Amino acid sequence: MNCAAFIVVTTSLLFLTDAVNPYHNTDKDKELQYLMEPPVYAGIKARRGENTTLPCVLRTVPSHYKVKWSKVEPLHTGVENIVLISNGHEVKYYGTWQSKASLRRMHALDISLRLIKLELQDCGLYQCELINGIDEESVTITLSIEGVVFPYQSSHGRYKFSYLEAKNACAKQDATLATYTQLYMEWTEGLEWCNAGWLNDGTVNYPILNPRPACGKDLPPGIRSYGPRHKTKEHYDAFCFTSTTEGSVFYVPGPLNFLEAARACKEKGASLARVGQLYSSWKFLGLERCDGGWLDDGSVRFPIIIPKERCGGITHPGVHSFGFPKKSISLYGAYCYR
């Protein structure tokens, strides 16, 4: 379950059972009467900006019925998040879903949900429910957005974000707070970060590959969890999640201070890249450059895909950071986004 707010357990077993069977009949003991048991056990994967369809198919068309699509997870403020309800003829949309969702209706038995212009927060668990008189049954399906997770620290230093500040910090970097599953996926691809950060379910975690005294001691490699923390009184870093972007990031050589870097981007019809945009170009477009460059938040970073000796002894791929140098006197290149 991609956006699942499930209790944090680091065993890969739980994750795997979730991952291989994310699309299932929610009424385990009941044979489905009206809905097709999906033959394909896979969640739907898409990228930001794409259109996608969450399949749901009737076996037969009952004489009177209702179709209800809802988003089950993550749940916001405990209210049921209904996408739409249809009686087979008319469709009633809820909230802001009208601009994004529709019933596909490709054939008489098709009650699949079509979603357009996917955004980061559209990922999660969806439910297709058939209501026929007093009978009801449902299947669920997971939508995951392909993306990249990155740790984010305040310019004021380590552990400065409340939960809400972490959420806003990610938004400013063209990202959302990551889910546990998204962090786990990034860990399997090599993310290690020895500082604890907020996830969108309000828990605090950090991913470790090589346990050492300062980082998780002799526990096995995995996601360390502090569990749910106090959202206003406690302060940590953030784990942000972003996906593909419409534009791309390019480098402008220095030496430039921060203001000159911003101007250099502007002259090229671009603006200083946000951290999420740099990660996205690194991950999805193969951007690599052994030169520190200013970003919009005042940090200086550089993206590496294949570590090389002559690039400062960097030993692992990733977007590396020089932190937040003094804006007026430090000289670097610029990473621009257009």
CA 223/CA 195 separation, integer angstroms:
11
Q: Which is nearer to ligand NAG, 50 or 260 (CB)?
A: 50
Chain residues binding ligand NAG by CB under 6 A are 50-51, 116
Closer residue to ligand NAG (CB): 116 or 259: 116
Is the Cβ of residue 42 or residue 116 nearer to ligand NAG in the bound state? 116
State the nearest-atom distance from the C-beta of 64 to ligand NAG, in Å: 30
Residue nearer to ligand NAG on the CB measure, 118 or 240: 118
Q: Output the smallest distance, CB 51 to ligand NAG, in A.
A: 4
Q: Closer to ligand NAG at the Cβ: 116 or 285?
A: 116
Using CA atoms, how far apart are residues 158 and 202, in angstroms rounded to an integer? 18
Q: How far is the CB of 213 from ligand NAG (least distance, A)?
A: 49
Work out how close the CB of 53 gets to ligand NAG at its nearest, in angstroms, rounded to a whole number: 11
Pairwise CA distance, residues 170 & 110, whole Å: 38
Q: Closest CB to ligand NAG among 90 and 246?
A: 246
Would you put residue 167 in left (φ > 0), alpha (ψ -120 to 50) or beta? alpha
CB 85 to ligand NAG: min, Å: 22
How far apart are CB 215 and ligand NAG at their closest, in Å?
A: 42
Query: Minimum Å distance from CB 149 to ligand NAG?
Result: 24
Q: Which is nearer to ligand NAG, 52 or 225 (CB)?
A: 52
The CB-of-96 to ligand NAG minimum distance in angstroms stands at 16
| Nearest residue (CB) to ligand NAG, 80 versus 119 | 119
Closest-by-Cβ residue to ligand NAG is: 51
Beta bridge partners of 140: 24, 127
